[in-house]
Amino acid sequence: MRQAALTGLGNESWVVTSNASGLAADSIAISGGKNARRGTIYGVYGLLKSWGYTFFAPTETVMPSATALAAVAALPINLTFTPAMEYVTSRRVASFYQLHCAI
Amino acid sequence: MYFRTGFVAKYLNKFWSSPVEKHCAKATVTPIAPPVPDETPNTQSLSSSFEVLLAKAATVDETFAAKELSEMLSNVTGTAVPIVDTKGSGSGTLTLAVGYDAATAVGLPPVQTQSIQRSYASTVNPSVSCCVFLLSN
């Protein structure tokens, strides 16, 4: 992870890292951009997915075992994600309705 | 035709389905072993292994993200994952810094200046961008 880890993160982008230079030991930083509305929660879900959580539906979540979680949590992690568009879900859903449901 | 069809059907039922019926009748139901619970978490590495660091100046969205992360981890570990505003010093504790200010608190470099961002975005020569960065600092 380069020095500019938190630069250029908008509302949707996020970074999850445990091996950035200067990061305290036994720490994982999860962050979106400054004052971002959604980046941080997306980062949380990104971290959980990489640790074995699977979110099938709002009420259906498959979780890893405690031993598996302990094993993967000890590994270094370095994730960065920037979506191609803002409002990833909302706009796609909105455009779908505009295309198929507007008469 | 109807007679032949019915005869064939009876013939098939009599000789072809009977082995299946016998098999089903003889089949014994083996009880499925109950799921083996997860091993008891290692006290040193799990019970106190996570803490969520949330800065005091965190936004509402970051607070929600921290609570969600704490709850998800608690569901697996079986112990409450505390949300703290100061990094603990417990050995073996993995600190999950949630949010912009928390991330910078554990050492992730914050946004420097807008000029730095533009330099990184517009410069393709890494040596030039490095010089710009050093000069700005």
Residue B6 belongs to a domain: no
- Could you tell me the CA-to-CA distances from B48 to A89, B80, B92 in Å, in that order? 36, 9, 8
User: What dihedral angle (degrees, nearest 10) is formed by the CA atoms of B53, B54, B57, B62?
Assistant: 150
Q: Using one digit for the tens of pLDDT, what is the confidence trace for B30-86?
A: 666 666 655 444 333 444 589 999 999 899 989 999 999 999 999 999 989 999 998
**Which residue range is the domain that position B84 belongs to?**
43-105
Q: Using one digit for the tens of pLDDT, what is the confidence trace for B21-31?
A: 555 555 565 66
Residue B9 belongs to a domain: no
Query: Residue A70 is nearest to which of B45, B100, B120, comparing CB atoms?
Result: B45
Q: Check whether residue B101 and residue B115 sit in a common domain.
A: no
Q: Check whether residue B100 and residue B67 sit in a common domain.
A: yes
Instruction: Looking at the complex, report in whole angstroms how far the Cα of residue B56 sits from the nearest Cα belonging to chain A.
Output: 14
Q: Check whether residue B53 and residue B75 sit in a common domain.
A: yes
Residue A82 belongs to a domain: yes
Instruction: Looking at the complex, report in whole angstroms how far the Cα of residue B55 sits from the nearest Cα belonging to chain A.
Output: 12
Residue A44 belongs to a domain: yes
Question: How many domains, chain A?
Answer: 1
Residue A94 belongs to a domain: yes
Of A74, A83, A27, the closest CA to residue B107 belongs to A27
Yes or no, beta carbons of B107 and A53 under 8 Å apart: no
Q: Check whether residue B115 and residue B76 sit in a common domain.
A: no
Q: Check whether residue B78 and residue B115 sit in a common domain.
A: no
Burial annotation A44-83 (CB, 10 A radius, 16+ → b, else e)? bbbbbeebbbeeeeeeeeebbebeebbeebeeebebeeeb
Chain B residues inside the 8 Å CB shell of A20: 107-109
Residue B74 belongs to a domain: yes
User: What dihedral angle (degrees, nearest 10) is formed by the CA atoms of B87, B93, B94, B98?
Assistant: -30
Q: Using one digit for the tens of pLDDT, what is the confidence trace for A19-50?
A: 877 788 889 999 988 877 788 999 999 999 99
**Which residue range is the domain that position A24 belongs to?**
14-100
Q: Check whether residue B70 and residue B117 sit in a common domain.
A: no
| B7–A contact, CB cutoff 8 A | no
Chain A residues in contact with chain B using a Cβ-Cβ cutoff of 8 Å:
3-8, 15, 17, 20-24, 26-38, 40-41, 43-44, 47-48, 53, 61, 63-67, 69-70, 73-74
Q: Give the ipTM of the model, two decimals please.
A: 0.78
The strand ranges marked E within chain A are: 14-17, 27-32, 54-57, 60-62, 78-81
Residue B13 belongs to a domain: no
What span, in angstroms and rounded, lies between the C-alpha atoms of B61 and B59? 5
Yes or no, beta carbons of A31 and B117 under 8 Å apart: no
Yes or no, beta carbons of A27 and B100 under 8 Å apart: no
Q: Check whether residue B90 and residue B123 sit in a common domain.
A: no
Yes or no, beta carbons of B100 and A44 under 8 Å apart: no
Residue B114 belongs to a domain: yes
Residue A5 belongs to a domain: no
Q: Check whether residue B71 and residue B90 sit in a common domain.
A: yes
Beta bridge partners of A57: A60
The whole-number average pLDDT for the span A47-60 is 90
pLDDT at A97: 46
Q: Check whether residue B69 and residue B120 sit in a common domain.
A: no
Question: How many domains, chain B?
Answer: 2
